[in-house]
Chains A and B, each alone.
Chain A
Amino acid sequence: MSILVKNLTKIYGEQKAIDSISFEVKKGEIVGFLGPNGAGKSTTMKILTCYLPQTEGLAKVCDFDTRAQEQEVKKRIGYLPESNPLYKEMYVKEYLHYVAKVYQLANPMQRVADMIGITGLTQEQNKKIHQLSKGYKQRVGIAQAIIHNPDVLILDEPTSGLDPNQLVEIRKLIKDIGNEKTVLLSTHIMQEVEAMCERVIIINKGSIVADDKTSQLKSNVSNQTIICIEFAEKIQIEDLNSVKGVKKVEKEGNEYKVYSQDKTIDIRQELFNKAVSSQWTIVSMKQETRDLEAVFKELTQKTK
């Protein structure tokens, strides 16, 4: 087991940051760690990386306890903290070389060169870190996290503040790394989870509210289907409401969002029949797939 967390609790003063959470991550999995701000994502990651000790419970990385075998854990983890702290006065190459030395790697020069190649920093390798744009700083952050070939990668919001092109590249980079390693990454961006993670853990107010395969999660949570329908004519919402199986109708621009009472009922047929009998012209009709964003909202808001 790459990561094992059991009944983990962290209390800051009076405030409970995480409340008895448990989960496991198997070797080679890419797991998305989701949650609103202040849910306890970063705290969990800080405990896993031995930066903070937990108040109660157990955290293990590669079967080493984060409290009793700190150094063993630290050697096996690559960590990118949330704010991506770097020594801004150092040169990219110099910094990576320093990191390699800290990890006491056998062949630091070679590893630094490899990392620069993998993360696409070749053009920037002789610049000072503070001269780099945010995307390149992020790459340096990722390079330092993987330089010692760790078994487990913990990335705290690795893609925040990147432009769309960089986003795609960094995601690809993480996905490539994830082929061989265990990755736990936190994010706010749902598309990212869909694009990269096989599994999602959603945490809210210090407790885990969902832990499932990304695809499963999407279908499990929603208990209704949503049909987006557009008519050429102006129609009354009440008319749509009267269709059999319809729970509620919302108007959004020219479109109507029709919610079914149950996900087993397909209301498209009923809607079509209704349109024909009322002589409305359907311009478009599509079934909305519930995306993770909606799932996330549902899970993290209902517990309020």
Chain B
Amino acid sequence: MKSILIKEIHAFFSSLIGFLAIGIFVGITGFMIWFFPTYSVLNYGYSSLEMFFSLAPILLLIIIPAITMRLLSEEKQSGTIEWIFTKPLTDWDIILGKYFASIALIIISLIPTLIYYFSIYQLGLPKGNIDNGGVMGSYIGLIMLSGVFCAIGLFASSATTNQIVAFIMAAVLSAFCFGGFDLVSNFASFDGMPEYIIKNIGISYHYDSISRGVLDTRDIIYFGSIIFVFLYFTFYNLEKRKY
């Protein structure tokens, strides 16, 4: 697993994808929350990173499918999949190696955004007047959410040999899992209990819950199981060659 992980991280940075992902993520969030007046923290008047944490998932919806789309589809396309399956590695070595490589890239691109936190920390009145628990929770939520998006992206990549199909599939599926259930739950006929249940299936409900700074085991289990389900689908897709 380690060899795959290292190789994939290496591949991200030797093919510019890594730098693009980090650059776009940091660049766009930077401009949005510090520069453009609409979302600017400086105009907002409160020492809060809320803007960043509501914007980041939307950006990740595009960035993560872009970094995961080639992970397996390219191997299937070029035939290296046959090579890799005849090496002393299990299917899970391959899946988890690639999965953790993409998570690592996202975590690397989150690191520069800590500057936003320190800036607001300094700007608060009095200094340091920021909801530390909320920020920490939100970062954890963001990593969890990236975990789900990466699992979905890897699954989409395992389902096709075409990277563009993988990208679109991953983006649509992630977007639906993120916000789709919320939208569906708003139908009048779902009022009451069904609305609550449907909302609960969606990612944004749990993301918001963690963002409040409360680490609820239910949320952790939720993210963990969604990740597992999609990784298992990926495993199934890889095993399918045998039947």
A77 contacts B79, CB within 8 Å?
A: no
B86 contacts A85, CB within 8 Å?
A: no
Interface hits, A81-122 → B, CB 8 Å: 81, 83, 85-90, 94, 98-99, 101-104
Q: Shortest Cβ distance from A20 into chain B, in angstroms?
A: 20
Interface hits, A31-79 → B, CB 8 Å: 46, 49-53, 71, 74-75, 77, 79
Q: Shortest Cβ distance from A111 into chain B, in angstroms?
A: 14
A90 to B12, CA, bound (A): 12
A103 to B82, CA, bound (A): 16
A101 contacts B6, CB within 8 Å?
A: yes
A99 to B84, CA, bound (A): 10
B79 contacts A85, CB within 8 Å?
A: yes
A89 to B70, CA, bound (A): 13
B82 contacts A81, CB within 8 Å?
A: yes
Which of B2, B10, B82, B242 counts the most chain A CB atoms within 10 A?
B82
Q: Quick check: is B127 within 8 A (CB to CB) of the other chain?
A: no
A88 to B11, CA, bound (A): 11
Q: Shortest Cβ distance from B237 into chain A, in angstroms?
A: 16
Q: Shortest Cβ distance from A74 into chain B, in angstroms?
A: 4
B-side contacts of A103, CB under 8 Å: 87-88
| A89 touches which of B4, B11, B81 (Cβ 8 Å) | B11
Q: Shortest Cβ distance from B1 into chain A, in angstroms?
A: 10
Which of A51, A89, A99 counts the most chain B CB atoms within 10 A?
A51
A71 contacts B80, CB within 8 Å?
A: no
A-side contacts of B10, CB under 8 Å: 94
> Chain A: which residue is nearest B2 at the CB level?
A101
Q: Quick check: is B218 within 8 A (CB to CB) of the other chain?
A: no
| A98 touches which of B3, B14, B15, B241 (Cβ 8 Å) | B3
- Given contacts A50-B86, A52-B242, A81-B82, list 18 more A-B pairs with CB under 8 A: A49-B86, A50-B85, A51-B82, A51-B86, A53-B242, A79-B83, A81-B86, A83-B79, A85-B79, A85-B82, A85-B83, A87-B78, A89-B15, A90-B11, A98-B7, A101-B2, A102-B87, A104-B3
A-B contact pairs, 13 of them (CB 8 A): A51-B82, A51-B86, A53-B242, A71-B88, A81-B79, A85-B80, A86-B83, A87-B78, A87-B80, A88-B78, A98-B7, A102-B87, A104-B3
